Amino acid sequence: DAGVTQSPTHLIKTRGQQVTLRCSPKSGHDTVSWYQQALGQGPQFIFQYYEEEERQRGNFPDRFSGHQFPNYSSELNVNALLLGDSALYLCASSGGTVGELFFGEGSRLTVL
């Protein structure tokens, strides 16, 4: 049973560029959430997607956007990258009413 998969695992961008990160949820899960984890900090909630719609959003600017596809996979897009966007980006999936989150291995973004 495949867990949550994310791609790419590492990437380097320069300021002002755009990035797209991808996530496939755990089998049987229909909800995908994205988190940003800076070094030495806990993950911070970006947004959650369910039934192809953004259901809730954390305190992140509009430069952060996302999408969920009919197969429940998801993308996170970040425009006009800033140095402060350097972080580990975590995708988590969940299903049912309990809502326990299971994380992928993350995409480590470095902005130069």
- CA–CA separation, 3 vs 72, rounded Å? 13
Looking at the Cβ atoms of 14 and 110, the one nearer to other proteins is 110
Residue 39 touching other proteins (CB under 8 A): no
Q: Write a three-state SS string for 39-59.
A: CCCCCEEEEEEECCEEEEECC
- CA–CA separation, 33 vs 109, rounded Å? 17
14-22, 62-70, 75-83, 94-102 -> range binding other proteins (CB under 8 A): 94-102
Q: How far is the CB of 76 from other proteins (least distance, A)?
A: 14
Binding residues (CB under 8 A) for other proteins: these are 31, 33, 35, 40-45, 47-48, 50, 55-56, 58, 88, 90, 94, 96-106
